[in-house]
Chains A and B, each alone.
Chain A
Amino acid sequence: MNHKKVKFAIGSVLVVFAIGYLISAGISSTSQYFFTVDELLAQKVAYTGAGLKVKGRVVNGSIARDPADQLLTRFSIQEKTGKLLVVYKGITPDMFQDGGEVVVEGTLSRDGTFHANVLMTSCPSKYEAEKEEGKTHPGSVPVPGTEPETPDFNKVGSGSKTRV
């Protein structure tokens, strides 16, 4: 290797190191643990206070809005065994509803309540329509001419996708 090559090798290595440093610093300062409800409940003591992301299904009928503060929502999420009470402040996504899969970001307090600052619904995707297991899938008996549903405006808890 002549000195020009060495020079460029050193320059490139410096750039690579700088980028590598940014990446590792970024990971260590912004990463969050990701658990399902059951995984979190199995080891919750260790993670009180830390930045967490938890996935679960909204327990049917658990969504309650605070009458005093319309932006405050309480609900529970569950997986197979455990249940986690979540308190969230902010507008809720359109697809936030009973039985829906959600991911919440926030912290777990000592009393076992999860304080979420971000609520995301796993959207039924751009590409895959939502499959309600067994109910309307062609594998089972198709329902001809589903009843027209009139929206019940009083019941609708809604909003839009909130991220950040």
Chain B
Amino acid sequence: MNDLGEFALMVALATALYGCIGYVLAARGNRLDLYLSADKTPVIVWGCVVVASIALWKAFMVDDFSLEYVWAYSNRDLDVFYKVSSFWGGQKGSLLFWTLLLTSYMVVVYFQNRKRNAKLVPYALVVMLTITLFFLVLLNFSTNPFERIPLPPEDGRGLNPLLQNYWMVIHPPTLYLGYVGFTVPFAFALAALITKNLDDSWIRLTRKWTLISWFFLCMGNLFGAHWAYLELGWGGYWAWDPVENAAFMPLIIATAYLHSVMIQEKKDMMKVWNMSLILLTFVMTIFGTFITRSGLIQSVHTFDEATLGYYFLAFLGVIIVICVSLIASRLPLLRSKNELDSFLSRESSFLFNNLVLLGIAFATFWGTIFPIVSEAVRGIKITVGPPFYNQVNVPIGLVLLALIGIGPVIAWRRATWAHLRKNFFKPVLIALVFGVGLWIWALPSNRAEVYSFIAFVLCVFVMSTIIIEFLKGTLARSHLHEETPLQALGSLVWRSKSRYGGYIVHVGVVFIFAGIAGSQAYGTHIEQHVKVGESLQIRDYTLKYERLGFIQENPTKTRAVAQLGVYQNGRRVWTGQPEKEFYKGQNQPVSEVDVRSTWKEDLYIILADFKEDDSATLKIYLNPMVSWIWMGAWIIAFGTTVSVWPDRLEARRRLERMKVQDAVFSPAQE
């Protein structure tokens, strides 16, 4: 089976190479026979990668430690669940996993467009095949997951205990689905540039791909945050680590793209901008992979495969050169037919939303690469940490939050004062009343609290605009069609899913902003060494350290469990059981925190250390509103689902809009 897997990877490489060359030669020489043969390659490459993946999974299942990769990431005692996920637990497997997803996407694109879009699809397939080729070169020559050990050991080294957590099982695939997904819009964008089909057909074709990839990337980030929060036991969920930034930057740029394409679809503007954004999104996914795999940037995650970094750097360079030169050569064709009219318009609010999002992405990028830049320029490595990102991204983020409220409501083209007053009077009033109330209730006393205060007021503002939008639509419908409010709300959303789905996503984003604002400014923590029977106090919670117990769970795992009675206003509300786990063969223990999560705040307990006399060192965090972030994630998931749900009405509307645009603009062109 291992030989088969290795062989399948070689065949995939050869086939992908043939496919790339075949498609290009067929297009140049107009040869149908060559085209037909090249057109079989995407499916064959996919099949080979599937075979290789099954072979690797099989090796994990049967504990085949003759494979170095299986030996390094699994052992006999490992739970089957984690044996499946060990597949992407390390460098080699995760690259194979990436290739598996990429080729699967490619095959879906292939069959989806079997009989249509003949102008773009072959070129898009060439782009995807080329990217697949790059990964296959890596898998065959640099990071072969089927590398053997001459004398197979009896047992493997096992999976890092930190990775034995269900969040960690779903987090990487989710992130990869997003990362890899952006290859599709990227491929179509390049295809449009190459073939000079620069109307918005490539955007319409890839709308769902973009949304779904964005969704997975967003969820991947949030799952990662949740994993870090529960598993790493440092009381936080985001540390602005280079690896986190690597996943964050494409998400932010893709968000900018998702918004600015609306302007192109409705107003036929910002073509160069959109093209650049989607290319940049893809470049950032590769850059992110490069950072995480090269070890170039000091991170809490270490990756010691420096040579792999060079492959990615070279690949990155080639992509950037191709993108820039293609855009430059097609510049005259990308010229907009419309222009912006007024600052007070939806178009310009989208423009500023884009600038702000790119600002966040750039600040994050600059902070991430700053150590390298400073070392190159000044010869000294200078790093920036979370304080930098917070100081820069928080104010920009607040502007973004305000724009989330303004953008969807302000009029297209040019908003009049009457119009502004009509749309914004109520939300602003509600936000102001709330702000005054909050100010009186909890006067901000430092900079973090002032930022949080502003964030909360803006959250209320945005929520009111969204709720008023829903109310207005619902009331209008129930009047017109004599429906009950609930019916009217349902059909309102049903009849323009992408619009209201988008609003729901905004609600989720507001929740995340609120959760961050609450937990960043109002959290507190204590660290204390206590004997059995002693108590700790954090805000209005009293925690009594009751006992320490040991549980030999199975031959490979022992747990030390501390028990704490938690009292609030003299009443016992919860029993906290933070743990430390000791695994056979791993010389480091793993802390298992215990969290009591409510909508108001999380009580988060870490068992840091203990002594022979059962006395323990505990660290306790009180993190307000963290659960709002995870709620926001589910709301975003729901909103995106609504947005991508097939919508015939919307498809018809789009088609009509295109016809109108063509009718208006075609005479002018001649």
A122 to B151, CA, bound (A): 31
Q: Is the CB of A22 within 8 A of B587?
A: no
Q: Which residues of B contact A163 (CB under 8 A)?
A: 234, 236, 239, 386
Comparing B187-195, B336-344, B625-633, the segment that makes contact with chain A is B336-344
Number of A interface residues, CB 8 Å?
A: 70
A144 touches B382 (CB 8 A): no
B303 touches A127 (CB 8 A): yes
Interface SS of B by simple majority: mixed
Write the chain A residue with the least CB distance to B552.
Answer: A150
Closest to A55 in B: B298
Residue from B160, B298, B340, B591 in contact with A4 in the complex, judged by beta carbons closer than 8 Å: B340
| Count of inter-chain pairs, beta carbons less than 8 A | 225
Q: Quick one: which of B94, B232, B298 contacts A103, CB cutoff 8 A?
A: B298
When distances are taken between beta carbons in the complex, the residues of chain A under 8 Å from B585 are: 146, 148-149
A143 within 8 A of partner (CB): yes
Cβ of A1 to closest chain B Cβ, rounded Å = 11
Contacts of A162 in B (CB 8 A): 234, 619
Task: Say whether chain A's binding surface is mostly helix, strand, loop, or mixed.
Answer: loop
B72 an interface residue at 8 Å Cβ cutoff? yes
**A34 and B382 within 8 A (CB):** yes
| A150→B552 CA distance, assembly (Å) | 11
| Nearest-neighbor residue (CB-CB) of A105 within chain B | B385
A82 at the A/B interface (Cβ < 8 Å)? no
Q: How far is A5 from B529 in the complex, measured between Cα atoms in Å?
A: 64
Does A87 interact with chain B (Cβ within 8 Å)? no
Give the complex CA separation of A27 and B385 in angstroms: 10
Chain B residues lying within 8 Å of A131, measured Cβ to Cβ, are 304
Given A26-B363, A33-B382, A127-B89, A160 and B591 contact (CB-CB distance below 8 Å): yes
Q: Which of B324-332, B388-396, B564-572 contacts A (4 or more CB under 8 A)?
A: B388-396
A19 at the interface (CB under 8 A from B): yes
Within 8 A of B (CB), among A59-112: 69-71, 90-92, 94-95, 97, 101, 103, 105
State which of B351-359, B461-469, B494-502 sits at the interface with chain A: B351-359
Q: What's the least CB distance linking B609 to chain A, in Å?
A: 5
CB distance from A159 to the nearest CB of B (A): 4
B394 to A, closest residue via Cβ: A22
B356 touches A15 (CB 8 A): yes
Interchain CB contact under 8 A, B609 and A123: no
Whole-angstrom distance between the alpha carbons of A149 and B556 in the complex? 9
In contact, A8 and B300 (Cβ under 8 angstroms): no
A30, A103, A127: which contacts B387 (Cβ < 8 A)?
A: A30
CB of A49 within 8 A of chain B?
no
- B384/A125 in contact, CB under 8 A: no
A97 touches B72 (CB 8 A): no
How many residues of chain B have a CB within 8 Å of chain A?
Answer: 92
Is B560's CB within 8 Å of the partner chain A?
Answer: yes
Assembled-state Cα–Cα distance A92/B424 (Å)? 51
**Interchain CB contact under 8 A, B153 and A124:** no
Residue contact A158 to B527, C-beta cutoff 8 Å: no
User: With A and B bound together, what is the CA distance between A149 and B370 in angstroms?
Assistant: 43
- Contact pattern, B 138-170, Cβ under 8 Å of A = 1, otherwise 0: 000000000001011111010110110000100
Known: A15-B352, A128-B91, A164-B236. A90 touches B527 (CB 8 A): yes
Provided the pairs A8-B351, A128-B302, A153-B560 are in contact, do residues A27 and B606 lie with their beta carbons within 8 angstroms? Answer: no
Contact with B along A129-164 (1 / 0, CB 8 A): 111000010100111111011110110111111111
Cross-chain contact A23 with B355 (CB below 8 angstroms): no
When the two chains form their complex, are residues A125 and B301 in contact, meaning their CB atoms are under 8 A apart? yes
Please state if B91 and A151 are interface contacts (CB–CB under 8 Å).
no
A151: chain B residues within 8 A (beta carbon): 558, 582, 589
- For the complex, give the distance between the alpha carbons of A146 and B71 in Å: 13
Q: Does B491 contact A (CB under 8 A)?
A: no
13 pairs, CB–CB < 8 Å, chain A vs chain B: A11-B343, A12-B351, A19-B356, A22-B395, A33-B380, A34-B383, A94-B588, A120-B300, A125-B303, A128-B302, A148-B584, A154-B611, A161-B232
- For the complex of A and B, 6 pairs with smallest distance between CB atoms: A160-B233, A151-B582, A91-B608, A70-B529, A19-B359, A142-B153
Query: 5 other contacts beyond A138-B153, A162-B234, with CB at 8 A cut-off?
Result: A12-B351, A22-B391, A34-B298, A70-B609, A144-B153
B residues apposed to A, CB below 8 Å: 68, 71-73, 89-91, 94, 149, 151-155, 157, 159-160, 162-163, 168, 172, 232-234, 236, 239, 243, 292, 298, 300-305, 339-341, 343, 348, 351-352, 355-356, 359, 362-363, 366-367, 370-371, 380-389, 391-392, 395-396, 527-529, 550, 555-556, 558, 560, 580, 582, 584-585, 587-591, 593, 606, 608-612, 615, 617, 619
